[in-house]
A and B are shown apart, each in its own frame.
Chain A
Amino acid sequence: MQTSRKLRRVALLGAIATVVAGAASAQEVKVWTLTFANDSANKAWADIVKEFEAANPGVTIKVEGRGTDEHKSALRVASGSDQGPDIYFMWGGLGLGGEFVKAGLSLPLDKYYAEYKWDDELLSPALSFSKQYEGGRHGVPYTFHGEALYYNKALFEKAGITTAPATYDELVADAEKLKAAGIPAITFGGTVNWHVMRLMDMILETKCGVDKHDRLMSMKVSWAEEACATASFEEFHKWTSNYTLKPFMGIDQAQSFNLFLGNRAAMMLEGDWLVGQLKGENRTADFGLFPFPTGTDRLYGFAEYNYISSKSKVPDIAAKFLNYLESTDVQQKHLGDFGSISVNKNVKYTSTEPLDQKWIEIFGKFPSTFVNGDQAFPLDVTTEYFRVINEVASDNLDPKAAAAELQKFIGNRS
């Protein structure tokens, strides 16, 4: 009787232990990221998750993808609860990424940087953003992107352009040649504000130079008092009036890309991820690429990061997954899926695709970068920057008054 009771107790304890052990080993890591326009990135994610789960029994990686704005909103909504992600995608830098770090929603990762030796394995320019925050290292680089001008070889040839422009004046001269040949020089989608913004960012770097550009973007000098800021808006307006495929304010970036593919415009200001999209369309041979000739030694680009939430109950396994994602083998295997260049510096580039090679050359050529306006400014100023740019682009605001209009908003901030 007693024996059977003991046996029952042992069996019960055994059962409880099994359940507890099972619960402890069954860990779910929630990853919130973007649904990328580049389908190869989505496929790569699915593969990586499957491989990691197979190598780590009992771990489930649950990836949720959303559009950019929906992703930002979802993170904000989830911030007040414990239903948010363990890992979330956000850009590097003080603008977008910094907002979440400042709010205490990102876990400092110094411990994991030391444990996994990410500083030895990842690219320095991409890592630099993780050091900008107060209170430790935040986020792990996921991609490092550059943006440049893609051009339609046939349309350039038709306009009599034989070499890529090396200076801004040459670029304008080429835009004039294209216009004379009846070809819109460039295409943008106006409904997504950040697309047209890229042109303004580039012109600002060209007209103001490195130091003044950065002081304007960090709002340390007045936009209204800097002649180069007004000159930039005037130059920007010249492009939207004379050289841009119209109408463009009512179409988005995806439609603009389709028009570019349809040979309706000669150039498109896009990131290295466009190579993947062109590969998807089997059209890489039709296009070339050159950096926007700003005259400075900086590449226009940004880093995308994955951050671990300060609310995560499984930070160790989340860090382990990020380490797997950044590892040389995985990055080598999925090279080109997230962008032309990997954040892992041990990756070997063997692509014979000229556009990929061109990007590698560009990344090697520029010693430093400057980020997109919507990542340099705080969110509210970004929204106003978009509005002012769009007002100028749609001829509703005199470009001479645009810099002062932006400064008025900056001056009214509390």
Chain B
Amino acid sequence: MPARSGQLGRKLQDPTLQGLMLLAPAVLAYAVFAFYPMIDVIQLSFMKWNGLNADKHWVGLDNYRYVLHDDPVFWVALKNTLIWTFLSVIFPPLIGFGLALGLNQNIPGRSPLRALFYMPVIIAPIAVATMWRWMFDPFFGLFNSLLSAAGWPNLIQDWLGDRNVALYSVFIAYVWEVAGFSMVLFLAGLQGVSQTLVEAARIDGAGRLQLFRYVTLPALRPTITIVLILSLINSLKAFDIVYGMTGGGPAQSTQMLAMWAYTQAMQLGDFGRGSAISVVLLLITVAIVIPYLRWTLKRQEAYQ
């Protein structure tokens, strides 16, 4: 008996076992709340189900065939999602980076400014949507009022009602909402830039631009990777702000894949098609994120 308890004690000392024990609750939660639903959605994408009763039946690739061939909205939603993603990995990170560089300097009011620029991130997206919807109102909104006051009535737009500008109007609101998040990550990265290296480069006669190019930027490489990956994933599943501002309109011209999947399942009661769209979105995400991650890891290894 004492020998057994000794064995158990030794086993518990094993770092691998300790690691597994610590991981177990998180793995269990992930399996139940993330992995299982993912598998369930994949399974549902091959079925016909209205979400209301027990009648679920297998239809093979019918949902995919419909979505890719007959659905009049799917390709518009896909195009919008790709445009949105492309813009999302450029503008919010760039603006966030600029803000971080500025707010990393020893300027007066630095802390309140950091809080101010981060504020939109913590506001509920639906509130952001409502606020910007009012600013974009064609009759009483801030933007058209400013354009009128400035004497540029020809620039007045139906910001959310004209299909040529609606998506970009919503994107402006999105940039305002998320740029602060990139800023905080970049600020954290900038804190990690070795001052020793900076001083050494200065002694070697490096100017501001050279310091940035050869010291700061390489040191920020892991942060840039994280910011771009998060921006990419968040943009691919863009939903709330579009839902709140245009609902996918006018005439589905601002529809997104994530929102269209939701619409098909939750509003039109076709969980098979909704799941098929979700699976397509998952495949697109994996197809973009995995190669990018592998590429950045290779580059990091080459630098080390």
| Residue from B249, B266, B270 in contact with A73 in the complex, judged by beta carbons closer than 8 Å | B266
A104 to B160: give the CA distance in the assembly, Å.
40
A251 and B268 contacting across the interface, CB-CB below 8 Å: no
Q: How far is the CB of A168 from chain B (nearest CB, A)?
A: 26
Nearest CB on A from B122, distance (A): 23
Cβ of B66 under 8 Å from chain A: yes
Q: Number of residues in B with C-beta < 8 Å to the partner?
A: 33
Residues of A within 8 A of B240 (CB): none
Which of A103, A249, A264, A390 sits near B53, CB closer than 8 Å? A103
Q: Are A249 and B52 in contact (CB under 8 A)?
A: no
Which of A133-141, A212-220, A344-352, A380-388 is near enough to bind chain B? A380-388
Distance of B260 from chain A, by nearest CB (Å): 10
B250–A394 touching, CB < 8 Å: yes
Assuming A387-B73, A396-B251, A412-B66, is B161 touching A190 (CB within 8 A)? yes
Q: Is A379 a contact partner of B269 (Cβ separation < 8 A)?
A: yes
A57 within 8 A of B: no
Contacting pair A380 B268 (CB below 8 A): yes
Which of B31-39, B132-140, B199-207, B276-284 contacts the other chain?
Answer: B132-140
Pairwise interchain contact B269-A76, C-beta atoms closer than 8 A: yes
Residues of A close to B223: CB separation below 8 A: none
Per DSSP, chain B at the interface is: loop
Q: Which of A250, A396, A408, A412 contacts B136 (CB 8 A)?
A: A250
8 A Cβ contacts from B151-169 to A:
158-163, 166
Task: Say if the beta carbon of B104 comes within 8 Å of chain A.
Answer: no
* Interface residues in A340-390 (C-beta closer than 8 Å to B): 379-380, 383-384, 386-387, 390
A408 CA to B70 CA in the complex, in Å? 9
Q: Whose C-beta in chain B lies nearest to the C-beta of A405?
A: B72
Residues of A within 8 A of B166 (CB): 250
Residue numbers in A under 8 Å from B137 (CB-CB)? 250-251, 255
Instruction: Determine whether B195 belongs to the interface, using a CB cutoff of 8 Å to chain A.
Output: no
The answer to whether the Cβ of B246 comes within 8 Å of any Cβ in the partner chain is yes
A residues less than 8 Å from B253 (CB atoms): 396
Contact of A250 among B62, B70, B162, B267 (CB under 8 A): B162
Q: Determine whether A259 belongs to the interface, using a CB cutoff of 8 Å to chain B.
A: yes
Contact between chains at B250 and A190 (CB < 8 Å): yes
Question: In chain B between 256 and 278, which residues have their CB closer than 8 angstroms to a CB of chain A?
Answer: 263, 266-270
Once the chains are docked, how many angstroms separate the CA of A247 from the CA of B144? 12
* Interfacial chain A residues near B192, Cβ < 8 Å: none
Judging by beta carbons under 8 Å apart, are A99 and B53 in contact?
Answer: no
Residues of A within 8 A of B (CB): 69, 72-73, 76-77, 79-80, 99-100, 103-105, 190-191, 193, 246-251, 255, 259, 264, 379-380, 383-384, 386-387, 390-391, 393-394, 396, 405, 408-409, 412, 414
3 A-B pairs with least C-beta separation: A250-B161, A249-B161, A247-B158
Q: Which residues of B are in contact with A by a Cβ distance under 8 Å? A: 50-53, 62, 66, 70, 72-73, 136-139, 158-163, 166, 246-247, 249-253, 263, 266-270
Q: What are 8 sample pairs from A and B whose C-beta atoms fall under 8 A apart?
A: A105-B53, A190-B249, A191-B249, A251-B137, A380-B270, A393-B251, A396-B253, A412-B66
